[in-house]
């Protein structure tokens, strides 16, 4: 009698939790720019497998494939934050991903750590402006990366050679 009461109590405690939170093996996202408009085209970059997939509308990423578990979204050089999953479990909602996510990268610039590999040993600075012969020599030896002469409001400052990521 007492056992039955305990089981029914457990059932009622667990059941509502299952019904409001469901898990998925895919990560779903829509891309938004600052003003809230949806971006209907863009790409998903998977640094571990050096692959880029073009997307339209909702991005659906299969997390059962281990190499898909680190990725970011890119829209004409504007990057989302880097998403990182330790397992193939994601929640079932459609995530709103902002482009560009400069706050996320600002933090990694400050701590001097690549947001993909979480290391600093492959980072080199990006140098802007007219290239001197010394700068060209340093670029050839992977000491710096040349950023070109055009200067925008928000510029990447570091480059990870391992992950081919400017941030
Ligand atoms: Zn890296």
Convert the pLDDT of each residue in 116-130 to its tens digit. Answer: 999 999 999 999 999
Is 167:115 a contact under the CB 8 Å cutoff? yes
Mean pLDDT (whole number) for 56-79: 94
88: its two tokens: 């193939």
> Is the pLDDT higher at 5 or at 108?
108
Q: Is 1 helix (H, G, I), strand (E, B) or coil?
A: coil
How many secondary structure helices (H) and strands (E) does the chain include?
3, 15
Ligand 1 centre to CA of 15 (Å) is 42
Q: What is the pLDDT of residues 4-21, one digit of tens each?
A: 555 554 444 545 454 456
Chain centroid to Cα 91, Å, comes to 17
Return the domain boundaries, the chain.
22-100, 102-167
Q: What is the fold of 22-100?
A: Immunoglobulin-like (2.60.40)
DSSP E strand boundaries for 25-163: 26-33, 38-39, 41-46, 51-56, 59-62, 70-75, 78-79, 83-84, 90-91, 94-99, 123-128, 145-148, 158-160
Tell me, what's the pLDDT at 80? 97
In angstroms, what is the span from residue 30 Cα to ligand 1's centroid?
25
Residue 123 Cα to ligand 1 midpoint, Å, equals 7
Listed residues: CB within 5 A of ion ligand 1: 114, 116-117, 160, 162-163
């Amino acid at each position: 009698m007492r056992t039955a009461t305990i089981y029914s109590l457990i059932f009622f405690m667990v059941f509502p939790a299952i019904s409001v939170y469901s898990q998925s093996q895919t990560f779903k996202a829509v891309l938004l720019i600052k003003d809230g408009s949806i971006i209907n085209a863009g790409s998903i970059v998977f640094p571990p497998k050096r692959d880029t997939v073009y997307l339209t509308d909702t991005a659906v990423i299969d997390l059962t494939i281990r190499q898909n578990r680190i990725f970011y979204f890119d829209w004409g050089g504007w990057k989302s934050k880097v998403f990182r999953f330790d397992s193939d479990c994601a929640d079932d909602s459609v995530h709103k991903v902002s482009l560009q996510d400069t706050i996320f990268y600002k933090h990694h610039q400050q701590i001097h750590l690549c947001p993909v590999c979480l290391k600093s040993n492959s980072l080199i600075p990006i140098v802007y402006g007219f290239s001197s012969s010394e700068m060209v020599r340093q670029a050839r030896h992977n000491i710096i990366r040349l950023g070109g002469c055009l200067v925008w409001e928000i510029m990447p400052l570091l480059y990870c050679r391992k992950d081919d990521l400017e941030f």
